[in-house]
């Protein structure tokens, strides 16, 4: 069901209010303190970004002040607590050691409307005392879409600590490099890490779409990551006759190959976009960056 159309732009004050709401939604109580998210990615409609561009630094500054003020309010003891007639319900909230990190970004999703505010924040949780448990990052997403608000949370586990099992066996002698295709029929292998962890994708057809995906957006390689990465971010194509791979950038925030920005195939303007069918050859081995958020390590089958 389509969302109702809104003509109300996002005001600077509403953006600050939503950042503060995201912080409250993401609080994580520990035994002796409560942690607050430190990093905030705020996604706004392009029209709202353009209208507010001249005061974006001021919005970030006042958002930091609002977060500090909210912490003071939440930490203020009640009268009964000050008179020691009641125990504090939750431990005191502490501000992030490195301060509040806030970034305002243009929302590249096609179905976003003026006035929509999407915030993704991160809170790094301390390493658990259980041996080998590793640390965790709590991610909080708050959305104000057409006036309706929602919140979701997830936890991403980092690499676990090494196990104290028996000493590791000596590493085997390196085997001769075998083309990927000879091993499992794949044309190429793509290794990457997103919010779901470290993953490997085997490309078994001549063309794939890479991106965040979503309703009405088909992706072969679907990434769990920030909206900086477009729903359809890029296409990889293999020429069956030559085995050469080509990359087409479909995004707004760009794609890099081995650190170099590739030309975009898309022309954006007047609320419309046009595919100019611009491709670049892809080396047999390449590190592909999507909006400098997710990086894909690509290796073709023909590269021994």
pLDDT in tens, 190-223: 999 998 889 999 999 999 999 998 777 789 999 9
Task: From 101, 122, 157, give the residue that closes a domain.
Answer: 157
Task: Report the share of the chain in percent with pLDDT over 70.
Answer: 80
pLDDT of residue 80: 61
Which pLDDT belongs to residue 183?
47
Q: How far apart (Å, rounded) are the C-alpha atoms in residues 300 and 283? A: 8
> What 8-state DSSP symbol labels residue 62?
H
In the chain, alpha helices (H): 12-25, 46-52, 56-75, 79-82, 180-184
pTM of structure: 0.67
Quote the DSSP letter at residue 264: B
Q: How many residues are given for the chain?
A: 304
Per-residue pLDDT at 163: 34
The answer as to whether 1 is a domain residue is no
294: β partners: 290
Q: How many domains does the chain contain in total?
A: 2
Q: Which of 209, 202, 257, 199 is nearest to 233 (CA)?
A: 209
CA dist 185 to 139, 206, 237, 280, Å? 37, 12, 17, 25
- 88-105 average pLDDT score: 88
pLDDT given at position 134? 55
94 within a domain of the structure (yes/no): yes
168 domain residue, yes or no: no
The reply to whether 186 and 69 lie within a common domain is no
Give how far Cα 114 sits from Cα of 78, 79, 119, 121, 203, Å. 40, 43, 15, 21, 38
Average pLDDT, the chain: 84
Q: What integer pLDDT is reported at residue 109 of this predicted model? A: 83
**Exposure class string for 159-185: b at 16+ Cβ within 10 A, else e:** eeeeeeeeeeeeeeeeeeeeebbeeee
| Residue-level pLDDT at 110 | 76
| Distance separating alpha carbons of residues 224 and 39, to the nearest angstrom | 18
Read off the CATH number of the domain in which 85 is found: 3.30.2320
- Structural domain including 204 reads 180-300
| Structure confidence at residue 95 (pLDDT) | 92
- The Cβ of residue 268 has, within 10 Å, a number of other Cβ atoms equal to 12
CA angle 31, 36, 38 (to 5 degrees): 135
Separation CA 224–CA 163 (nearest Å): 28
Mean pLDDT of 276-289: 96
**pLDDT tens readout for residues 34-84:** 999 999 999 999 999 999 999 999 999 999 999 999 999 999 866 566 566
Q: Looking at residue 159, what is its pLDDT?
A: 42
Is position 6 within any domain?
no
Over range 230-250, report the average pLDDT: 95
Give CA angle at 67 (227, 117), nearest 5°.
30
Residue 182: pLDDT band (50, 70, 90) is very low
Q: Classify residue 279 as exposed, middle or buried by CB count within 10 Å of its CB (0-12, 13-18, 19+).
A: middle
Buried b (16+ CB within 10 A) or exposed e, 220-238: bbbbbbbbbbbbbbbbbbb
Identify whether 85 is part of a domain: yes
Is 5 part of a structural domain of the chain?
no
Q: What is the pLDDT of residue 263?
A: 96
| DSSP category for residue 73 | H
Residue 3 CA to residue 149 CA, distance in Å, equals 13
Is the pLDDT at 132 greater than 90? The verdict is no
- pLDDT tens figures, 35-44: 999 999 999 9
Report the alpha-carbon distance of residue 184 to residue 301 in Å, rounded. Answer: 10
Q: What angle do CA 256, 268, 101 make, to 5 degrees?
A: 55
**Together in a domain, 216 and 127:** no
With a CB cutoff of 8 Å and minimum separation 6, the contacts of 5 are: 113, 146
Query: Considering the domain boundaries, does residue 167 fall inside one?
Result: no
CATH number at residue 239: 2.60.200.20
% residues pLDDT > 90 (the chain): 61
């Amino acid at each position: 069901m389509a969302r109702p159309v809104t003509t109300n732009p996002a005001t600077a004050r509403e953006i600050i209010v939503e950042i503060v709401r995201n912080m409250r939604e993401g609080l994580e109580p520990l035994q002796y303190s409560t942690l607050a998210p430190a990093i905030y990615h705020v996604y706004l409609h392009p029209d709202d970004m353009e209208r507010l561009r001249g005061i974006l630094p001021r919005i970030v500054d006042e958002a930091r002040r609002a977060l500090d003020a909210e912490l003071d309010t939440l930490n203020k003891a009640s009268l009964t607590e000050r008179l020691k007639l009641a125990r504090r319900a939750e431990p005191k909230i502490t501000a992030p050691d490195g301060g509040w990190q806030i970034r305002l970004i243009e929302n590249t999703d096609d179905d976003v409307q003026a006035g929509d505010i999407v915030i993704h924040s991160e809170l790094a949780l301390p390493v658990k005392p259980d041996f080998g448990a590793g640390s965790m990052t709590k991610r909080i997403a708050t959305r104000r879409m057409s006036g309706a608000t929602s919140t979701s949370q997830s936890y991403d586990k980092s690499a676990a600590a090494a196990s104290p099992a028996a000493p590791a066996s000596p590493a085997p002698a390196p085997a001769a490099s075998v083309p990927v295709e000879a091993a499992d029929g794949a044309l190429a292998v793509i290794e990457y890490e997103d919010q779901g962890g470290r993953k490997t994708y085997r490309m078994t057809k001549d063309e794939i779409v890479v991106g965040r995906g979503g309703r009405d957006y088909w992706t072969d390689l679907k990434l769990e990551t920030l909206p900086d990465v477009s729903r359809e971010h890029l296409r990889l194509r293999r020429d069956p006759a030559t085995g050469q791979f080509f990359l087409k950038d479909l995004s707004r925030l760009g794609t890099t190959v081995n650190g170099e920005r590739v030309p975009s195939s898309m022309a954006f303007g007047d609320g419309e976009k046009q595919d100019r069918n611009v491709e670049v050859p892809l080396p047999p081995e390449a590190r592909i960056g999507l909006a400098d958020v997710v990086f894909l390590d690509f290796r073709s089958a023909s590269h021994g």
